[in-house]
């Protein structure tokens, strides 16, 4: 190969080829990204556990368990703050682009949604305590079902995030219709309970609120699915419609 040079400056016009791919070039970044992912997964597991315990406290009229869910939410909040700081640091120091920046933004948003889901679990725990303080009324059967679907959805959303599976993320969103249907059914049953047994109106309202929180929680899980679609495709989509 000839070594062409600029006749005015004498500089080489064809530079030497770049070094070939260097496996260590991204080692620090990959390590930081893995740490963030691990922490988001840990946050997801904590939130799912909180939701399961809140549901159990509701079903078993266990006020102490509900209290534990309320107290432990501080750890969820702390974990989310830590993730935010980690992501800010990686963005500031590594200037990520393309899929890397999409992944960090998705994880950042997913962590925020998980924190909100944790808040819904706390709200349900509070309602469980209020219901436990009232004369016992059977929990409307749709509510444990909603709680179960929410947890399954949450688990599937976290799996789709780990696997970056657009298909699984879309499946998560599809199940949201089931939650909406159950919520409407709780609404009808609660109204009926209030009309046939006005002395149980307070319990009916508590159950309606519980179902409402679960319905909203499902929307938050769907938002995580949207994050996964963005990560996988670069497209911002509304999966709630």
Partner 1 sequence: MEPARGDTAVRDTPTIRVMTDQTLDEAERIASAGEPESVAVAIEPDEVIFDLQSLSCFYGSFRAVRDIGLRVPRNKITAIIGPSGCGKSTLLRSFNRMNDLVEGARIEGTILYHGVDLYADGVDPVEVRRRIGMVFQKPNPFPKTIYDNVAFGPRIAGYKGSMPELVEQSLRRAALWDEVKDKLGSIATSLSGGQQQRLCIARAIAVEPDVILMDEPCSALDPIATLKIEELMRELKENYTIVIVTHNMQQAARASDFTAFLSMGDDRAGYLVEMAPTQQLFTSPTNRLTEDYITGRFG
Query: Could you list the residues that contact partner 1 (CB under 8 A)?
Result: 1-2, 4-9, 13-18, 20-22, 25-26, 29, 95-102, 233-235
**Distance spanning both ends of the chain, measured CA to CA:** 60
Contact status, residue 167 vs residue 217, Cβ threshold 8 Å: no
In the bound state with partner 1, the residue whose beta carbon lies nearer, of 68 and 105, is 105
Q: In the bound complex, what is the minimum distance in angstroms from residue 99's beta carbon to partner 1? A: 6
Q: In the bound complex, what is the minimum distance in angstroms from residue 95's beta carbon to partner 1? A: 6
Q: In the bound complex, what is the minimum distance in angstroms from residue 181's beta carbon to partner 1? A: 35
Identify the H or E element spanning 215: helix 201-233
In the bound state with partner 1, the residue whose beta carbon lies nearer, of 30 and 134, is 30
By C-alpha distance, which of 98, 85, 110 is closest to 32? 85
In the bound state with partner 1, the residue whose beta carbon lies nearer, of 26 and 61, is 26
Q: What angle do CA 86, 105, 95 make, to 5 degrees?
A: 65
Q: In the bound complex, what is the minimum distance in angstroms from residue 114's beta carbon to partner 1? A: 24
Give CA–CA dist 131/143, Å, rounded: 13
In the bound state with partner 1, the residue whose beta carbon lies nearer, of 22 and 31, is 22
Cα 137 from chain centre? 32
């Amino acid at each position: 190969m000839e070594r062409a040079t600029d006749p005015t400056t004498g500089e080489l016009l064809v530079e030497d080829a770049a070094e070939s791919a260097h496996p260590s070039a991204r080692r620090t970044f990959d390590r930081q990204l893995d740490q963030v992912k691990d922490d988001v997964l840990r946050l997801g597991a904590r939130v799912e556990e909180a939701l399961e315990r809140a549901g159990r406290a509701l079903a078993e009229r266990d006020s102490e368990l509900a209290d534990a869910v309320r107290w432990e939410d501080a750890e969820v909040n702390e974990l989310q703050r830590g993730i935010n700081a980690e992501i800010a640091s990686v963005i500031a120091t590594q200037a990520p682009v393309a899929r890397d920046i999409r992944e960090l933004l998705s994880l950042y948003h997913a962590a925020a949604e998980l924190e909100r889901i944790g808040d819904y679990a706390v709200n349900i725990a509070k309602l469980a305590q209020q219901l436990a303080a009232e004369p016992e009324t059977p929990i409307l059967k749709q509510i444990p079902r909603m709680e179960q679907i929410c947890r399954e959805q949450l688990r599937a959303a976290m799996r789709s995030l780990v696997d970056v599976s657009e298909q699984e993320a879309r499946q998560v969103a599809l199940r949201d219709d089931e939650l909406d249907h159950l919520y409407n059914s709780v609404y009808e049953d609660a109204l009926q309970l209030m009309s046939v047994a006005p002395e149980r109106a307070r319990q009916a309202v508590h159950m309606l609120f519980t179902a409402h929180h679960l319905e909203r929680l499902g929307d938050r899980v769907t938002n995580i699915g949207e994050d996964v679609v963005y990560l996988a495709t670069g497209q911002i989509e509304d999966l709630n419609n």
